[in-house]
Chains A and B, each alone.
Chain A
Amino acid sequence: MRLWIALLAIPALAQKLAVLPPTVELTGPEARQQLIAEASLAEHSEDWTPKTQWSSSDPKIAAVDAHGIVSPVGDGEAIITANAQGTSGSVTVHVKNARAPFTWSFRNHVIPVLTKMGCNQGACHGALAGKNGFKLTLRGYDPDVDYDTLTRSSVGRRISLADPDESLILAKPSFAIPHGGGKRFAKDSLEYRVIREWIAADTPPPAASDVQIQGLEVFPAAAVLAPGADQQLAVRARYSDGHTEDVTRWVKFSSSNEGVATVDDWGHVKMNGSGEVAITLWYASRVLYSRLSVPFPNTVSATAYEQFPGRNFVDDLVIAKLRNLHLAPSKLADDATFLRRAYLDAAGVLPTAAEVESFLADTAADKRAKLVEQLMQRDEFVDYWTYKWSDLLLVSSKKLNPTTMWAFYNWIRDSVKQNKPWDRFARDIFLSSGSTRQNGALNYFVLHKDPIELSENATQAFLGQRITCARCHNHPLEKWTQTQYYQMANLFARVGVKSGTSAGENIVFAKPSGDVLHPRLARPLAPTPLDGKSIAIDSPEDRRIAFAGWLTSPENAMFSRTVINRVWANFMGRGLVDPVDDLRATNPASNEELLAALSKDFVANGYDVRRLVRTIMNSAVYQLSSEANATNQSDNVYYSKHIIRRLGAEVILDAMSQVTGAPSAFGGYPAGTRAMQLPDTQVKSDFLTSFGRPARNICDAAERSSDPTIAQALAVINGDTLNKKLSAPDGTLALLIKLGMSDRRVLEFVTLSAFSRYPNDSEHGMLAALEKTSGAGHRQAVEDMVWAMLTSKEFLFNH
């Protein structure tokens, strides 16, 4: 805290005053650019725009006002200089076509004005039914339709060429005449002028030859700011003819975390808390974000980072982030904690008492790395990851018959067992044809039957993208357009599924014809993956080939990032991107550099999931203690300490079975089958349901719940599941007692089995009471002691 007080008290001396954007081109008489004077101080930057004196080297070329808005005067170059608090910076401005004739474009100006003013939002005229007889396309996704609506419908009252000010499109929103939506802009606003001048120019229509938007730039794209700081953003659009325009005032802004920062309609950001935030921008179905952060109010010595035992690039990149945010990493976890964590995360089982003792006794320096290798060779590792991918692919007997469900499950299991590269795993699904009994992967096409379901599920499961909104209109908050949606869906238009010869069998085949129609255009669009290359609509090739090729291409970062994020979250307790399956463009990772590096490594090494597991588990970051230090109590995002989380339903049940030596019985499955070995979530188990097992109905990681509930507490206190395991006549407890093992040894054995460590004083405290019992009373006391351990936080949580 002292650091910040010092920063605020002394007049800041900037090391550098940068003017953003770093280059400015003004094209046409109406071009404008908001400049931002960003001062670099010792550890952060500040927006000095409001206290800057601006000047132009040549006012006959470019003029700049007190707010830092530069405008064209004549063609040529001028230098704009910013002076503030004794520091200065400058930018060169190139002016072109300053005196050329100019008309506002319907597509590139009128529609953005209507969009920013909210005219075409879902609440107003963008509603499916319009509003009071006037309907625009939602957020302007179809300029041609909107042009027709404005100029041709309603007997031309919306536009008055004879007297533009009389046009309803101006008179209503400026409230010259009553308007249900209130006053949207003033008569002297730029917005009014754009529409008025466009009408006065005879309402030029949108044309195929219009310059098209290519992308957005935001300034600053990233900044570290002080607590409570203000920051103005500037947003520029790039067009197909190479020119750029400042579109800041027409961008829709939002904050990814309003606890950290809020942003107003004009791109003015206010930092309210500590941590990082993405200020997301939407303009003309293009999205981008600016990454702003405020370090936590801690003083951390440099040695905390320098002495961190970096083992691989994961550590380097996490430490870099922690350094920026003034968070010190916790200490490394001890061997017992690491061992238990590694078993649970990699294989969903606890180490046995013998495995714990031998690991703790091992003095080899590389014993943790060796353990990681051993775990990946175990059958339980295969069971665990098969279960995980079965959750992802919704394997269940709800829609599949037992034979085909097993075929799907076994195909996944085989793939995990042979460590099939993730790109091949996906290709094997999308490139196969034939019997769903013989090739289990094909059941994917039975679970998702039509092109709409297939394209939505494929993008969700493998790319972390939710495109459903674009089914009816351009995604209002994201980049996906309705055109892209139906281009994508058409890739699956020729997947045929017909009944096979045996029960439950289906045959998946490529049909020679068939198309998905765009609902409004009523015609098929060229099959095209999202942001990918189209294929000819009359190409005889199985369209899935193009899809699979694009899906698994090294250039498709969404593909690798999605699976990496899921694997990372499995070990670290939270995805780099959160929620774990929501990788939309405006939801950046908490450590983008790390996700990019992991992705690069993953692609360069053949989409090798086990290699990824190894990289994560061997990092020092994975091996951090979950105990907080003075700086990171509140951090659950940047991996400064290990995140404590409740075990999954299946893991808890299996762990209880393992410690008590009394497995649960599942109807129709062989005795001894673990919950993690079930292929099907339809198998009845009140315990698993209560603890949050997913139904595998929809592809959404939120379907699985790990929240503790009262029902779970009641289930372990009073329910039969755990109680019967404890009292099992042939279970581990019965055996230990029968063997005449001392209470102290029983306690030690159970503590090793349940917590992967030796007992401590608290646990020894139970022994005194135990010693006073005998016979059946003694047996019950032992059960009660073990119950206390198997319902404790240390048991139910991975820590």
Chain B
Amino acid sequence: MFRLDADRAVRFCDGLRRRDFLHAGSLAAMGLSLTDWFGLRALGATDNSKDVNCILLMLIGGPSQLDTFDMKPNAPVEIRGPYKPIKTNVPGIEISENFPRTAKHADKFSLIRSMYHTAAAVHDTGHQMMQTGRLFQGGIEHPHMGCVLSKLKGPKGDVPAHVLLPRPIGNTGGNMPHGQTAGFLGKGFDPFVLNADPSDPNFKVPDMLPPDYLTALRVDRRRNWREMVDRSVSEFETSSDARLLDSTFQQAYTLMSSQKAREAFELHREPEAVRERYGLNRFGQSCLLARRLIEAGVRFVTVNMFETVFDEITWDIHGSKPFSPISCYRDLVGPMFDMAYSSLLSDLSERGLLSNTMVVGTGEFGRTPKINPAGGRDHWPQCWTMLMGGGPIKGGTIVGSSDEIGGAPRDRPVTPAQIAATVYRGLGIDIQQELPGVQGRPIPLVDRGTEPISELFA
């Protein structure tokens, strides 16, 4: 998200100060329309910084390692499940037949087959840990990795530093989830949440531009007057929520005044063929939107593949209602992922963005090695496989392995905290540093002794 308490001057490549939109009224005096103004802004040079970005694909529900990326063809049928492995473009790496397109890009990502966590086997714990590296306890709400990046590096240009697509994770059982916000860093570093479905035919970010009946002069006058009215009350200064409101208005005006920022959200600018390649569904179009946002300067995009696990076909294949059947990996969820993920990797690669954009894909846990009586698999945090590639992360390798039934890591066990450390290192963040916590108490970015997966770095 944008920095709220920007304590240093923010420079823009076009040489215009951000407050200049405040004075768009004076542009009218110069004979410039609002459209001209937006045009001027768009002429600004693109940001050439070589910062590493990240797209985090949250595969809500928890994909079964045995039916996706850690096949056990030699195990008994009740373990190996209904699907067969296929070869990929990297000799020695096999994945499920449900991902034929992804198999052609195995050189672009690596598999970590020894993921595990030790918290309760419910969705929320894994979601928390995969996004923050930690569990919610001790009254401390740890920040999402994208929010940390936002805090440490701030936005690049006019777009938010961290965007969440398409909606936050909702109720997956138990309480409302933790781990999707900036937590103790403060709401000012929360992600910009799209809260819309990019596959909707009428999709657009609502209210990005003034309606026809409002001239630039009036938008400008309103902004001036609002600041005048706000100046008259002092007691709001100690309220962090009130300060946050100010910054949301500033950021809204920034978005409005930046053609580049607005266009990043305009999926209809993509050729139909590209849209179809990603899959004409919520996840596919969210991945495409993620690519556009990264191109426009967003540093971190979180894509939640699903919002909940109830009454929706997801990775959560318990085999009984209101959850999903194992066949959905072949019929729906698998192809959906396959199209979007393979297109994202190849598209980023073709555009030269993969070299500075990590793509991380993970569920919140794995699934029981043995198929349950309903024909599905239940929660299994003891072992799963996740995907990492792009940026400084090597492709075409396998980290760790699981035992013969995919039930536990056999070697190189990897925790969510290590993944956070790996992502931070990949983003070029010093993992030894501390963040300002509650009452200013420093909290280490990752716990001491938590090391990134060094073999993933070239």
Interface residues of A (CB under 8 A from B): 121-124, 127-129, 254-260, 272-275, 466, 468-469, 625-628, 633, 644-646, 686, 689-690, 697-698, 700, 702-703, 706-715, 717-720, 723, 727, 760-763, 765-766, 769, 780-781, 784-785, 787-789, 791-794, 796-797, 799
Q: Which of B187, B211, B233 contacts A793 (CB 8 A)?
A: B233
* A780 to B363 alpha-carbon distance, docked (Å): 53
Complex contact A258–B438 (CB within 8 A): yes
* A697 to B177 alpha-carbon distance, docked (Å): 14
* A122 to B234 alpha-carbon distance, docked (Å): 50
Q: Which of A272, A703, A711, A715 contacts B441 (CB 8 A)?
A: A272
B66-74, B167-175, B446-454 - interface stretch: B167-175
Complex contact B228–A766 (CB within 8 A): yes
Say yes or no: A259-B437 contact (C-beta < 8 A), given A710-B255, A788-B228, A794-B233.
yes
Shortest distance from the beta carbon of A244 to any chain B beta carbon, whole Å: 29
* A794 to B235 alpha-carbon distance, docked (Å): 10
B56-64, B218-226, B269-277 - interface stretch: B218-226
Complex contact B193–A711 (CB within 8 A): yes
Q: Which of A127, A628, A720, A787 has the most CB of B within 10 A?
A: A787
* A781 to B220 alpha-carbon distance, docked (Å): 12
Other A-B pairs beyond A256-B138, A793-B230, 14, CB < 8 Å: A272-B439, A274-B439, A644-B242, A690-B195, A700-B176, A706-B241, A710-B2, A710-B251, A710-B252, A710-B255, A713-B248, A717-B249, A792-B229, A796-B245
Complex contact A719–B207 (CB within 8 A): yes
185-201 of chain B: CB within 8 A of chain A? 187, 190, 192-193, 195
Complex contact A702–B175 (CB within 8 A): yes
Say yes or no: A123-B252 contact (C-beta < 8 A), given A259-B438, A720-B211.
no
Say yes or no: A713-B208 contact (C-beta < 8 A), given A644-B236, A723-B213.
no
Complex contact B225–A785 (CB within 8 A): yes
Complex contact B218–A794 (CB within 8 A): no
Complex contact A257–B139 (CB within 8 A): yes
Complex contact B235–A718 (CB within 8 A): no
Q: Which of A257, A466, A760 contacts B175 (CB 8 A)?
A: A466
Say yes or no: A709-B382 contact (C-beta < 8 A), given A762-B228, A794-B230.
no
Complex contact B229–A713 (CB within 8 A): no
Say yes or no: A123-B235 contact (C-beta < 8 A), given A791-B226, A793-B242.
no
Complex contact A788–B229 (CB within 8 A): yes
Say yes or no: A273-B255 contact (C-beta < 8 A), given A255-B138, A258-B140, A712-B248.
no
Q: Does B206 contact A (CB under 8 A)?
A: yes
- Which chain B residues border A686 with CB–CB below 8 Å? 206
Residue of A nearest to B246 (CB): A793
For the complex of A and B, 6 pairs with smallest distance between CB atoms: A123-B118, A259-B438, A788-B225, A713-B252, A762-B232, A259-B439
- Which chain B residues border A792 with CB–CB below 8 Å? 226, 229-230
74-118 of chain B: CB within 8 A of chain A? 118
Q: Does B332 contact A (CB under 8 A)?
A: no
Q: Which of B230, B235, B407, B437 has the most CB of A within 10 A?
A: B235
Q: Does B39 contact A (CB under 8 A)?
A: no
* A706 to B229 alpha-carbon distance, docked (Å): 22
Q: Which of A707, A784, A791 has the most CB of B within 10 A?
A: A784
Interface residues of B (CB under 8 A from A): 2, 118-121, 137-140, 160, 170-171, 173-176, 187, 190, 192-193, 195, 205-211, 213-214, 218-219, 221-222, 225-226, 228-236, 238-239, 241-242, 244-246, 248-249, 251-253, 255-256, 382, 407, 437-441
- Which chain B residues border A794 with CB–CB below 8 Å? 229-230, 232-233, 236
A-B contact count (CB 8 A): 197
Shortest distance from the beta carbon of A583 to any chain B beta carbon, whole Å: 14
- Which chain A residues border B232 with CB–CB below 8 Å? 760-763, 794
- Which chain A residues border B225 with CB–CB below 8 Å? 766, 784-785, 787-788
Say yes or no: A129-B382 contact (C-beta < 8 A), given A272-B439, A697-B171, A723-B211.
yes
Complex contact B438–A718 (CB within 8 A): no
- Which chain A residues border B407 with CB–CB below 8 Å? 129
- Which chain A residues border B235 with CB–CB below 8 Å? 625-628, 644, 799
Can you give 21 contacting A-B residue pairs, CB < 8 Å? Answer: A122-B118, A122-B119, A127-B382, A256-B139, A272-B441, A273-B439, A644-B235, A690-B195, A698-B171, A708-B241, A710-B160, A713-B245, A713-B248, A714-B256, A717-B252, A723-B211, A788-B228, A791-B222, A791-B249, A792-B226, A793-B242
Shortest distance from the beta carbon of B123 to any chain A beta carbon, whole Å: 13
Shortest distance from the beta carbon of B189 to any chain A beta carbon, whole Å: 12
Complex contact A784–B222 (CB within 8 A): yes
Complex contact B229–A789 (CB within 8 A): yes
Say yes or no: A697-B170 contact (C-beta < 8 A), given A123-B118, A711-B193, A718-B207.
yes
- Which chain A residues border B244 with CB–CB below 8 Å? 707-708
Shortest distance from the beta carbon of B144 to any chain A beta carbon, whole Å: 15
Complex contact A646–B233 (CB within 8 A): no
Say yes or no: A469-B120 contact (C-beta < 8 A), given A709-B193, A789-B229, A794-B229.
yes
Q: Which of A255, A257, A763, A780 contacts B229 (CB 8 A)?
A: A763
Say yes or no: A258-B441 contact (C-beta < 8 A), given A122-B120, A718-B256.
yes
- Which chain A residues border B437 with CB–CB below 8 Å? 258-259
* A122 to B195 alpha-carbon distance, docked (Å): 35
Shortest distance from the beta carbon of A75 to any chain B beta carbon, whole Å: 44
* A793 to B160 alpha-carbon distance, docked (Å): 23
Shortest distance from the beta carbon of B274 to any chain A beta carbon, whole Å: 26
Shortest distance from the beta carbon of B457 to any chain A beta carbon, whole Å: 28
- Which chain A residues border B221 with CB–CB below 8 Å? 769, 781, 784
- Which chain A residues border B241 with CB–CB below 8 Å? 644-646, 706-708, 797
Complex contact A633–B120 (CB within 8 A): no
Complex contact B231–A762 (CB within 8 A): yes
- Which chain A residues border B441 with CB–CB below 8 Å? 258-259, 272-273
Complex contact B206–A714 (CB within 8 A): yes
